[in-house]
A and B are shown apart, each in its own frame.
Chain A
Amino acid sequence: MSNRRIVPIGPYHPLQEEPEFFKLIVEGETVVDLEINLGYNHRGHEFVSPELTYDQIPFLVERICGICSNSHPLACVLAVEDCAGVKPPPRADYIRSTVHELERIHSHLLWVGLAGHFIGYNTVWMWAWRYREHILELFEMITGNRNHYAMNKPGGVRRDIKAEQIPQILAVMDVVDKKVMMLTKAVLDDPVIRSRLEGVGVLTREQAIAYSVTGPTARPSGVDIDVRRDDPHCAYDRVPWNVIVLNEGDVLAKAKARLLEIFESTRIIRACLKDLPEGPIESRIDEVPPGEGIGRTEAPRGEVFHYIRSDGTNRPLRHKVRAPSFMNIASNVVAVKGGSIADAALTLAAVDPCYCCTERMAAFEDGKLKLTGKDLLRLSWAKTERIRERL
């Protein structure tokens, strides 16, 4: 068709500083199709993992993503425990849930902040990131690190939550509840934000099911799924909380769902710390027998799924990682169709895409890394030179 044009977005996202390439095919202002190119940041985790032992792998998968750096190790150790038929002690379950929910709060606040930034409300951005800081400080207190917490190991957790830390965590939960309530009201009551987000980038329930999306991409479209409730693990079946399901499927519903989930997370953390059982924090795993194991958990963005095939040695034969964004980003193809170019960037960001999660490989040739950081710099300089010569 003659009046079709291509609007390229990327390889750097205009809003999120991660590499991917969206080719918007437009007719006038309307987006009629979308092609997605990935692979700028693929690092080969599934390739490397079978060379490591079960104790080492959590450290590798933790580095799949800085935001979900608890979800991947958690799903991974759940897979190892599923294969070995070992259950962690109750105290470890409660600690895992606590850290996991802290991660959800910081991830959702990060997204809310970015969403504010995307639509030109930098105040929302600064607020959200300021309150996120309290959560990162809690992480530092509990785990020793603001990111990459290294809490999970096959059979349990590496560190305990000490009794004297609990009042501090609860105090921060009070602050988070209060501030997020203020933020939620500010976002949802603002007529300008509402009209900017309402009806934009709608993903219908049928589309959400066809693309098998999960997490805060699926639940705002009326798909009532949450791995924490559906396939209970950690302490999620022992503390009270609700799954937030909305029906509109637009960007506003996605923002609402994330904000409301923060309150559920603080509720889970309070309940976990109140009922924290006494006892050991890890079960011993002597060997991982030949067989298979599946571990899954609800990351801030949706289901994280790890599959392990064991041959009875201390290393897996195959380790498959499924990150939520892998399925969620693919649904952009239907969510942006029919919308305007101005809405596209917002819609593409609304699934909270995580490209580090989606791509896990690097360009290897004969077992050697083909392009190092320096090579990429050299290529970039050479290209700049070529452009200069042409000018």
Chain B
Amino acid sequence: MREAEAGLKQLVPDAEVCEHNPKRLYIKIPRDRLTEAAKYLHRERGMRLSICTGIDTREGFEVLYHFSEDSTGTMYTLKVLAPKDDPRIDSQAPWFPATDWIEREMHELLGIDFPGHPNLIPLFTSDTDWEKGKYPLRRDYERRDEAHEQ
């Protein structure tokens, strides 16, 4: 077992590790343990945050934190799930500036709340023209294909 993987399992015993291939690990953790796990990967294992992905799934909002271990070329993806009726995940921005913008993006496009974020204002959508409460990357966002309507 890899060192980072073992360390993470020790830190978060109920982490579920899924190895897609030797260079791609997906680790499911409870959302209240995210800050500890992310701090461990970045500060102690020296990993770099590539990006986060927010996905609206049937089970809830899945947020993936893709960490890159550049010394081995392995991607460690932390997966946390926030239920639909309580879409909240602790913000990592106060201690990790790399998450600042992407949390803002997930907030405006998916409507996930990141309590603790110092400046959770829209990053890309217009602050005047964009209707509040419309989240284009949610499953229930009404997609109409103009090309098919014509």
Binding site for B on A (CB under 8 A): 38-39, 42, 44, 46-47, 51, 82, 85, 209-212, 214, 225, 227, 230-232, 291-294, 296, 303, 305, 307, 309, 317-318, 320, 322, 326-327, 330, 359, 361, 363-371
Contact = CB atoms under 8 A, between A and B. Distances in A.
Contacts of B130: 363
Q: How large is the interface on B (under 10, 10 to 19, 20 to 34, 35 or more residues)?
A: 35 or more
Given A365-B134, A370-B129, A82 B21 contact: yes
Give 5 nearest A-B pairs by CB, closest first.
A367-B144, A231-B73, A322-B51, A212-B98, A320-B53
A82 B131 contact: no
**Which of A307, A359, A365, A366 has the most chain B CB atoms inside 10 A of its CB?**
A307
A238 to B, nearest CB: 15
A39 B126 contact: yes
- Interface of A, helix, strand, loop or mixed by DSSP: mixed
A211 B98 contact: yes
Contacts of B131: 365
13 contacts: A39-B126, A47-B136, A47-B137, A82-B20, A85-B21, A232-B73, A296-B75, A303-B68, A309-B55, A322-B50, A330-B101, A366-B142, A367-B146
A227 B126 CA distance: 34
B60 to A, nearest CB: 14
A214 B74 CA distance: 16
A137 B38 CA distance: 46
A373 to B, nearest CB: 15
B73 to A, nearest CB: 4
Contacts of B87: none
A294 B24 contact: yes
B26 A292 contact: yes
A38 B73 contact: no
A336 B26 CA distance: 37
B50 A361 contact: no
Given A42-B124, A212-B98, A296 B143 contact: no
Given A322-B50, A359-B124, 20 more contacts: A38-B123, A51-B145, A82-B21, A82-B24, A85-B21, A209-B48, A212-B50, A214-B48, A225-B70, A230-B72, A231-B73, A292-B20, A292-B24, A293-B24, A294-B77, A305-B51, A364-B136, A365-B131, A367-B143, A368-B146
